[in-house]
Amino acid sequence: MDLRPSALRALCIIDPAEKAAVVRDLHARATTLTLDPGAVLDEPAGLPGRPALPRLVPAMAVPRRSHRHPLGLAALMHAIAHIEFNAINLALDAVWRFPGLPPAYYLDWLRVAAEEAEHHLLVVGHLATLGHRYGDFDAHDGLWTMTWNTRHDFIARMALVPRTLEARGLDATPLIQDKLREVGDLAAVAILDVILREEVGHVAIGNHWYRWACERAGQDPVALYPELVRRYEAPRLRPPFNLAARRAAGFTAEELVWLQVPAPARERT
């Protein structure tokens, strides 16, 4: 089997548990798979494969609930499960969609997909202890929307999905963990420890391939980034920022200085 068509078939799987299992198996067998980086694959309709639930609504329409209430705590964990499911899909899309890249690129993103699958299963397993399952709450589609919007622009994909939207998780996770400690859900805190540690590596992969793509195109990665943010209307990044995690993920001092400029001034650069 070839790695890239296999990733596309996995992306088409509707059932989250089946998708996670297939992705983990693909990663376990990565060294035995063939790889044709130059193949241009036909895109099937209906990407990505996903279940009928959760119902997808605009971000502002997702109900806000207190984590201090059992239903609010479950909704918080459901939101994380949804993020991790979408992260499986975006990693698989990165594997199959872009031809002509170094083999290491495809192996990197297959590893990301497998780790995101593990994250999704961990969170869904914990959600079950709270009396709920994936699909019980409404969710929004922001992560996949940006993945789809950048499907024809490899540099923008690397800039705006892993190192922008996923990097927001580096900032948000410690704050979520504080909420979970407040209500005594230490099992969830431990799950998020795993997710945060591995997400640093995922963002680092995005940083690496963004800079690689910029060098190949003769672009300055720091100067290009704000232009891509404006072009694709990426979400505004607001403090607090987890600077230690961002440094570990490969953001440069120059990038972190720019990030901490107040948003209105930053958007004029």
Residue 114 · residue 122 · CB < 8 Å: no
Please tell me the predicted confidence (pLDDT) of residue 228. Answer: 97
**Is cis: bond before 54, omega within 30 of 0?**
yes
Mention the CATH class of domain 3-44+70-267.
mainly alpha
Token output for 258: 């720019």
Q: What is the mean pLDDT of residues 1-10?
A: 97
Domain spans of the chain, in order of start: 3-44+70-267
Report DSSP state, residue 236: P
Report the greatest alpha carbon distance in the chain: 52
Res. 42 pLDDT band, cuts 50 70 90: very high
**Could you identify the residue written with the tokens 């607090």?**
240
Cβ atoms < 10 Å from Cβ of 249: 23
Res. 64 pLDDT band, cuts 50 70 90: confident
pLDDT in tens, 126-158: 999 999 999 999 999 999 999 999 999 999 999
pLDDT greater than 90 at residue 48: yes
pLDDT in tens, 233-251: 998 888 999 999 999 999 9
